[in-house]
Structure 1
Amino acid sequence: MAPSDQSPAAPLRLDAALALLHRDLAAVAEAENVATAQAGGRVLAAAPVAAVTVPPADCAAMDGWAVRAADLGPDPLPVGGRIAAGHPLAAPVRPGHAYRIFTGAPLPAGLDTVVVQEEAEERPGAVVLPPSPPGANVRRAGESVAPGDRPLAAGRRLGPAELGVAAALGLTELPVRRRLRVALASTGDELHDPGPALPPGGLYDANRPLLRALLAGWGAEIADLGIIPDRPDRLAARLAEAAAGCDLIVTSGGASVGAEDHLRGVVARLGAVRFWRLAIKPGKPVLFGRIGATPLLGLPGNPVSVLVGMALVGRPVLARLGGEDLPPPRRFAVPAAFALRKGAGRREFPRARLTADGTASLVPNDSSGALTAVTAADGLLDLAEERTEIRPGDPVPFLTFAELLR
């Protein structure tokens, strides 16, 4: 039966769709070892066990004077020597002496405190130091990492800080998930790649560049299928071919209810449709299914809907397939600088920006076809299905693009 002949099911709530995805999908990206220097942006496949102590010894947290706290008082302390990072004190500590020490230098046995240099009064061959509690300005051995610790959890995406931790552990390579292979296509006879002049009725395709940038930022390898015309046979052939060599297919357009929207029928014929249409705005015509065993995410045709659908649904799909432990984006309560009414039963994500006084204002153009409304915004508001009215000053959940698109 053709999709247009079916009685469409009620749109699925976003939380129900995400729960279905979690049940349906599992990691498909196998583990491989790569050099630590090349592991940025990859997902850690197993938690490495620390074999070293970080820091390896008690050391100075500040430039200053290393002393025994019990020796501090009004009398000057004779200078016993100088300790720099990478140059431990060669001789035993002399009781009652102060030692010039620099940040990161190991604290010798017998000394327990560092007094910062700004508090010191230097005299020839001696120094006067104020009282200081034992342990002040000292980094303890192992306070960052102890042998046997697992400071990096499996499923974590490796950023600059994580790579720094791995380097501090002395790791030259890391076990990571291979990059997901994602096939990407736009559908629609009206679409054209940027460059040549547009024919009558034509539009430049903004969706593939947008999606390519998102997918690349999330570490995927992309097979660009280009623009597929509105013909079911061509669509079926291209999707079947892509399914044979990819972990995920992402399309935009052709997922709604129009006579030229063929995606749902093609997916149902080649595999299965798990859900179609979400109770959200923008982005209602989101489809998730399979071509054979390969998952397919069908996004709407309007570019704002594409971005919202990819952020809310596509990002969790990639995380699940790639073995990434992705926490849900945080929502920050921000006072509304506007009044708004909405219908019940639909979750809405208006584009908004933060004002200088800490409130959220709506971006004027609310069209799902206007990407300029996204470039003018700082993020999305998350207005729950049951919420029908927002008044100025009411707290509204705010999702920053930094959280959504990380």
Structure 2
Amino acid sequence: MVTAQRRPASLTPLDAALAAVLRDLAPVEPIELPLADALHCIAAEMPALRTYPPHDVAVGDGWAMRANDLVGASSYAPLPLAALPVWVEAGAAMPDGTDCVVDADAVDASGPLPQVLAEAVPGQGVRRAGSDIAAGRAVIAAGEPLLPRGLLLARAAGLALVRVRRPRLRIVNIGNGKLTAQLTADTACLAGAEVVPAEAAPDATAIVSALDAAGCDLIITIGGTGVGHADAAVNALATRGALIAHGIALQPGRTTAVGRIEATPVIALPGAPDQAFAAWWAIALPVLDRLSGRRPRTTLALPLERKIASGVGIAEVVLLARRQDHWAVLAIGDLSLEAIARAEALLIVPGGAEGFAAGRLVDAYMLRE
């Protein structure tokens, strides 16, 4: 028979729980990945790129010429040529001695001698060498996520592999937490993690077996952290490793637990989507960011449209949406799925604050980077 988890006698402050699980945690070692697999991963130190394009190229189709040779040419004073100039297609290397591309109709080849009917300036219709990528430029700064535009630079520079830090995250779904487990997995992938899903019955023995730290950098469990008769995740964590805290001063997400199995951090999230979402942003994501070596996440400072009231001693998660030049409050503490889907930013009111007054400038984490 499974022993029910007892309700924590007191709640651990959010800052203390986070500091404890982050202690001595270092970024994972960089690996090399093909560009197709590196999207959203966090960049490690990158080699310096070569100049791109490596030489001047034509921007569009036309005649490659030298601008100084065309001074004074017009339809009223055509400039005769000894021979037709070189025709270039868009993207082709510019021939030696040329520095501009003129349109097809700027050269009249109907008579015995071709004639130029227009002037040009140096660089017209030409993309200069190094104008897309300067020599010595990196694909992206270390600690930043690799987005499609960064991968565009890598492909243009001819790279086949990029160096990234991609923590391996095991997500153990306990019982009926499939909706929450999928939300967590999707969010973790966007944060640059490699997700390894696992399932465990709501039974202490099964959960202990699923808490396998081999080959992973972070373990997340979903469900089984409450006080029900089948809530055995916290007991299993204490059996398999070390329980740091169970019961965090966080609303929603009070039944979250944190611990370690040897050096691998373990975060036990509640099964309810809103509670897991809050605890993910408050605890799990900072841990994942530390493992990936990510730079601080993007925030946006705007004044609050209305007052936020919060209980002292409990950190509360607030969902926000941008309304003109203010933050509009969508939800405080009690987060509906609709509010989670609509939210543009997230604010965590510290446990030592009673809230924020209307008009107060607050920094909120952007949910839509």
For the aligned pair, the TM-score class normalised by the smaller chain equals 0.7 to 0.9
More moved, 279-288 vs 35-44:
35-44
Q: CA RMSD in A?
A: 4.1
Preserved contact between residue 289 and residue 297 of structure 1 (Cα < 8 Å) = yes
| Residues 81-92 of structure 1 mapped to structure 2, 5 A cutoff | 81-85=85-89
| Residues 228-243 of structure 1 mapped to structure 2, 5 A cutoff | 228-229=202-203, 233-234=204-205, 237-240=208-211, 242-243=212-213
Residues 245-292 of structure 1 show CA distances to partners (whole Å, capped at 9, x for unaligned) of 643221134446788765445434432234455444333443321123
Preserved contact between residue 382 and residue 396 of structure 1 (Cα < 8 Å) = no
Which of these residues, 126, 148, 167, is aligned with residue 160 of structure 1?
148
Residues of 1 paired with 2:329 and 2:247: CA distance? 25
Residues 98-139 of structure 1 show CA distances to partners (whole Å, capped at 9, x for unaligned) of xxxx4x343444444567x6xx98473323237x5x556643
Normalised by the length of structure 1, the TM-score is 0.68
User: Which consecutive residues of structure 1, in runs of 5 or more, have no partner in the other structure?
Assistant: 86-101, 194-204
Residues of 2 paired with 1:64 and 1:383: CA distance? 61
Deviation of the 1:351 alpha carbon: 2.0
Query: Percent same amino acid at aligned positions?
Result: 31
For 2:85, what is the secondary structure of its paired residue? strand
Residues 153-191 of structure 1 show CA distances to partners (whole Å, capped at 9, x for unaligned) of 5555444333333322323344555761514123xxxx5
| Residues 37-76 of structure 1 mapped to structure 2, 5 A cutoff | 37-42=36-41, 47-50=46-49, 52-61=50-59, 68=66, 70=68, 74-76=72-74
For 2:188, what is the secondary structure of its paired residue? helix
2:116 maps to what in 1?
126
- Give the counterpart letter for 2:316 in structure 1: E
Distance verdict in 2 for CA 1:106–1:288, change over 3 Å: same
For 1:57, what is the secondary structure of its paired residue? coil
1:172 maps to what in 2?
160
Residues of 1 paired with 2:7 and 2:362: CA distance? 40
| Residues 81-230 of structure 1 mapped to structure 2, 5 A cutoff | 81-85=85-89, 102=90, 104-112=91-99, 122=106, 124=108, 125-129=115-119, 132=121, 134-135=122-123, 138-145=126-133, 149-153=137-141, 157-174=145-162, 180-186=168-174, 192=176, 206-217=179-190, 218-229=192-203
Deviation of the 1:220 alpha carbon: 1.9
Q: Which has the higher contact order (CA 8 A, sep 6+)?
A: 2
User: Which consecutive residues of structure 2, in runs of 5 or more, have no partner in the other structure?
Assistant: 109-114
Runs of 4+ in 1 over 6 A off after TM superposition: 257-260
For 1:238, what is the secondary structure of its paired residue? helix
Preserved contact between residue 366 and residue 373 of structure 1 (Cα < 8 Å) = no
Aligned length, in residue pairs: 352
Residues 4-36 of structure 1 show CA distances to partners (whole Å, capped at 9, x for unaligned) of 5976364132xx6555555432344673x5544
